Structure 1
Amino acid sequence: MLQDDELLDIVDEKDCIIGKKRRSEIYCQGLCNFRVVNAFVTNSLGQLWIPRRSAEKLIFPLCLDVSMGGHVESGENYEDALQRELNEELNLDLNKVKFRLLGYLTPHQHKVSAFMKVYEIELDYEPNYNKNDFVESVWLYPHDLIKWLHNGEPAKSDLIKLVQIFYAKQI
């Protein structure tokens, strides 16, 4: 078993738990019926803090990504996972930042990779990110990020969809 091969809950189309599988099994089988959390860090200028994933990542190495993202492990709810991942990836305490839920997306309705809750965190400084997760970052306005992605900048598959869904007014 891989070190980061978490046990994840498998859910039905209504996001109710129907089983459990290892992350490696889920990805090997191409499943989308598991849960994740994603968050965008935004500043007072309306820019998004966008990191580049490390070369060691198993999927989407060296690609642009949402500010923070992770799997909801078996037994966790979305908010527990947000708190854990925020601490692991950005060294931030959920109780000490201003955040809000942007929305809830499903693979069948929104064509995203998993069941997900997407949050927004307000910060006017670059997070002290985990160097094992990310190698660099940039602050971008949503419309500039979309231009980068349309011009071929490699990115995690859901990034463009999430920016278009939640920041369409700014594009």
Structure 2
Amino acid sequence: MAELVERVDERDRVIGAVDRDEAIREGWAHRVATTVCRDPRGRVLVCRRPDHVSRFPAHHDWLIGGAVDVGESYEQAAARELAEELGVRARVRFVCKFLCPGAISPYWLGVHEAVVTQPLAPDPSEIAWHGWFGETEFQKVIRERLFVPDGLEVLRRRPGLGPRSGVTP
């Protein structure tokens, strides 16, 4: 079944609905929403993708997210992806949006933050492993493990999104 997304222009204006695989294949910009998940102590969630997935198998990421559906806002998509991938509901807060060149195709990336207080129930088809990391551990894991390139791009653009202390929900 095709996953429809909105093809967008260089200003993030909708051109029309297209199949996501076609958008990637043709290099058409579309929309993706991600969330940096924190626990109440300010640690950041890091996940490892399963070995069998088609895009970035066994790579780590510190962003949870995916394609924005047709007619959906970035915030709605970010919240939906948290529920689908982590089995949690949390209020997402918009942080920034930029045109990401993408490792496999360009897309507008909406980045959000959420404080997660519920126990996680990760979807094993999306997440093979996860852990919470404070600032020192996060910097180490970023250097030592294989990460999704686009997640590293977000970190380069917004280094302040990393772990913090004393975050409250």
TM-score bracket for the superposition, by shorter chain length:
0.7 to 0.9
TM-score normalised by length of structure 1: 0.80
Alignment of 1:82-97 (within 5 A): 82-93=78-89, 97=90
- Could you say if the C-alpha distance between residues 43 and 90 of structure 1 is closer, same or farther in structure 2, counting changes exceeding 3 Å? same
Q: Which runs of 5+ in 1 are unaligned?
A: none
1:100 aligns with 2:93: yes
2:137 to 132, 136, 144: 144
Following TM superposition, by how much is the alpha carbon of 1:113 offset from its aligned partner in structure 2, in angstroms? 4.4
TM-score normalised by length of structure 2: 0.81
1:75-122 deviation line (CA, Å, top 9, x unaligned): 2221221232121111122xxx343212112236xxx94201111111
Following TM superposition, by how much is the alpha carbon of 1:40 offset from its aligned partner in structure 2, in angstroms? 1.0
Comparing 140-149 and 80-89, the one that deviates more: 140-149
Amino acid across the alignment from 1:76: E
Query: Which residue pairs with 2:21 in the alignment?
Result: 24
Query: Which residue pairs with 1:157 in the alignment?
Result: 149
Q: Which has the higher contact order (CA 8 A, sep 6+)?
A: 2
Query: Which residue pairs with 1:121 in the alignment?
Result: 114
Q: Which runs of 5+ in 2 are unaligned?
A: 164-169
Segments ≥4 residues shifted beyond 6 Å: none
SS of 1:134's partner is coil
Over aligned residue pairs, what C-alpha RMSD do you find?
2.4
Query: Which residue pairs with 1:43 in the alignment?
Result: 39
Query: Which residue pairs with 1:13 in the alignment?
Result: 10
Following TM superposition, by how much is the alpha carbon of 1:170 offset from its aligned partner in structure 2, in angstroms? 5.7
1:51-93 deviation line (CA, Å, top 9, x unaligned): 1111222100111123411101222221221232121111122
Q: How many residues align?
A: 160
In structure 1, what is the Cα distance between the partners aligned to 2:39 and 2:85? Answer: 18
Query: Which residue pairs with 2:71 in the alignment?
Result: 75
